[in-house]
């Protein structure tokens, strides 16, 4: 079976045929760097990473771009609140994002373009859109995309514009809005005082870009006018990706993206995890609860990326324990170098992943392999390492850990505190162990310590 991917545009599973035979251009909408990302955001990036890993595993040369949104309504608002320059403020959160990315074993993209470095490209595209009649300048000097000039508007998010005629007549200056306020959207926002010192003097006047034009400019500049796959979470479908299509296709006259892929939400008690609802966890919050970043990664693999998934701390802890068991099973295999990948297992693995990245089944196969006594330990090891190129649990880098004496001492002290039922002290010691880069887990066989 060939690779089939779900395309939001057609709402169907489609055979994946790249534009160029052996290479894939992949664009992932990256973080808006105004705060620490929450683990819902990481569902989107781990999904993109799994897709990219599988494409590479299948022999494609993947060119992956992930943008950094370092200018939008939220970055301006919060940098002002903190009294920092936009650059200083966004650089801090960009670096925090990179740290989390590494802890989650997400392969770095080939490039992380920052929106503020692409203002010239954005201005060039906006001017062309005005010239072609797709955009117009409003009375305050802002530039808007006229959605009625783009007949395909609404095709990605499956909105019927004719039903919205009245709504669709207005103008929307905010970067984010709901489907029921479909309107002409801002490409360029004329300066107003709330922007403080964030503005560019350009041929479009003094102002700053709208959010949507940023991804169009960074995608076209880095990957060309047509790309294979664009990913993001489902909340990006409208208005962000719908608007990207209108701008990009209005500008080039060519199909912008062949396959649009979107991951479903991570929920908390049935509601989307989000900053605005305040129901979010960061990666640090999970670590404080004794759940490792790769335990979270494994937990995500147990659901398909297109299913709504409710966060449940107990099942997350279970996934973290499962990861430890996976490591133990792997470490118990001799470090023979003469093992070969078991082809029957590999065929099944590829078949599951070809089915729109069916990670739950692919993961179940690993447990089946671990239990299979007909496969030699050396071949088992080779097969697990092979699959791990896609899962990204870091098996190839697993070594017997040497725990520093300082950490071991704290673990013993914590054990004593626990025996004395001094839970407050036990928590303090756990936090100290965490700050040294280690985590401690309480198992049936006592405390186990490992690197975070």
Using the CB atoms, write b or e for 11-32: b if 16+ within 10 Å.
Answer: eeeeebebeeeeebbbbbbbbb
Q: Which of 215, 323, 369, 410 binds Zn ion (CB under 5 A)?
A: 215
**Count of residues in contact with ligand AMP, rule CB under 6 A:** 17
Buried b (16+ CB within 10 A) or exposed e, 129-157: bbeeebbbbeeeebbbbbbebbeebbebb
Beta-bridge mates of residue 439: 450
Task: Answer whether 441's CB lies under 8 Å from 318's CB.
Answer: no
Our CB check for ligand AMP shows the closer of 256 and 387 to be 256
Q: Among 3, 29, 65, 283, which residue sits at the site for ligand AMP (rule: CB under 6 A)?
A: 29
Question: Does residue 353 interact with Zn ion by CB under 5 A?
Answer: no
Q: Using CB atoms, what's the residue nearest to ligand AMP?
A: 233
Question: Given the rule CB under 5 A, which of 55-63, 215-223, 246-254, 321-329 is the region that contacts Zn ion?
Answer: 215-223
- For residues 260 and 299, which CB has a smaller minimum distance to Zn ion in the complex? 260
**Contact range with ligand AMP by CB under 6 A, out of 27-35, 291-299, 373-381, 439-447:** 27-35
What's the CA dihedral at 398, 105, 303, 375 to 10 degrees? Answer: -30
Q: Decide if 281 contacts 192 (C-beta within 8 A).
A: no
Site string for ligand AMP, 194-233 (x = CB under 6 A): --------------------------------------xx
- CB of 238: closest distance to ligand AMP in angstroms? 11
CA distance 53 to 390: 5
The item of Zn ion, ligand AMP, none sharing an interface with residue 5, based on CB under 5 to 8 Å by kind, is: none
Query: Cα 202–121–205 angle (5° rounding)?
Result: 15
Q: How far is the CB of 40 from ligand AMP (least distance, A)?
A: 3
The contacts of residue 7 (CB under 8 Å, 6+ apart) are 13, 14, 259, 260, 261
- Residue 233 or residue 392: which is nearer to Zn ion going by CB? 233
Footprint of Zn ion on residues 9-38 (CB under 5 A)?
29
Among 6, 16, 25, 43, binds ligand AMP (CB under 6 A): 43
| 235-294: contacts with ligand AMP (CB under 6 A) | 235-236, 263, 265-266, 272-274
The least CB distance from residue 81 to ligand AMP, in Å, is: 18
d(CA 117, CA 279): 33
Helices (H), 231-376: 242-252, 283-288, 293-301, 313-331, 343-354, 359-371
d(CA 46, CA 105) in angstroms, rounded, equals: 9
Neighbours of 434 (CB within 10 A): 16
DSSP 3-state of 380: helix
Nearer to ligand AMP by Cβ, of 84 and 274: the residue is: 274
**Smallest gap, in angstroms, from Cβ of residue 274 to ligand AMP?**
6
Site residues, ligand AMP (CB under 6 A)? 29, 31-32, 40-41, 43-44, 232-233, 235-236, 263, 265-266, 272-274
Site residues, Zn ion (CB under 5 A)? 29, 215
């Amino acid at each position: 079976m060939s690779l089939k991917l779900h395309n939001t545009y057609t709402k169907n599973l489609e055979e994946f045929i790249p534009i160029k035979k052996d290479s894939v251009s992949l664009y992932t909408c990256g973080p808006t760097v105004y705060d620490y990302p929450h683990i819902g955001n990481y569902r989107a990036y781990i999904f993109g990473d799994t897709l990219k890993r599988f494409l590479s595993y299948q022999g494609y040369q993947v060119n992956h771009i992930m943008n950094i949104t370092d200018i939008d309504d939220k970055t301006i608002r919060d940098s002002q609140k903190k009294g920092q320059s936009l650059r200083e403020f966004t650089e801090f959160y960009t670096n925090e994002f990179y740290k989390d990315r590494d802890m989650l074993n997400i392969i770095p993209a080939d490039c992380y373009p920052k929106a503020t470095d692409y203002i010239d490209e954005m201005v060039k595209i906006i001017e062309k859109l005005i010239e072609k009649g797709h955009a117009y300048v409003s009375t305050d000097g802002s530039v808007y995309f006229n959605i009625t000039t783009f007949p395909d508007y609404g095709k990605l998010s499956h909105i019927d514009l004719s039903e919205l005629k009245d709504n669709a007549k207005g103008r929307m200056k905010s970067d984010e809005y709901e489907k029921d306020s479909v309107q002409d959207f801002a490409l360029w926002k004329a300066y107003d005082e709330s922007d403080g010192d964030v503005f560019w003097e350009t041929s479009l006047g003094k102002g700053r870009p709208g959010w949507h034009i940023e991804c169009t400019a960074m995608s076209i500049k880095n990957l060309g006018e047509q790309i294979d796959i664009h990913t993001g979470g489902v909340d990006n479908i409208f208005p962000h990706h719908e608007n990207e299509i209108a701008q990009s296709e209005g500008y080039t006259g060519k199909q912008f993206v062949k396959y649009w892929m979107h991951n479903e939400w991570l929920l908390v008690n049935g509601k989307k995890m989000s900053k605005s609802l305040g129901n979010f966890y960061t990666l640090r919050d999970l670590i404080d609860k004794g759940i490792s970043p790769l335990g979270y990664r494994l937990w995500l693999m147990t659901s398909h990326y297109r299913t709504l998934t409710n966060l449940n701390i107990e099942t997350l802890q279970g996934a973290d324990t499962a990861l430890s068991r996976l490591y133990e099973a792997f470490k118990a295999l001799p470090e023979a170098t003469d093992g070969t990948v078991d082809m029957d297992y590999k065929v099944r693995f590829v078949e599951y992943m070809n089915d729109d990245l069916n990670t739950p089944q692919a993961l179940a196969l690993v447990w089946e392999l671990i239990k299979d006594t007909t496969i030699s330990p050396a071949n088992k090891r080779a097969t697990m390492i092979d699959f791990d190129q896609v899962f990204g649990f870091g098996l190839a880098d697993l070594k017997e850990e040497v725990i520093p004496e300082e950490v071991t001492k704290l673990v013993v002290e914590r054990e004593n505190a626990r025996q004395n039922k001094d839970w407050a002290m036990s928590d303090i010691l756990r936090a100290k162990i965490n700050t040294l880069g280690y985590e401690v887990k309480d198992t049936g066989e006592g405390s186990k310590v490992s690197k975070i």
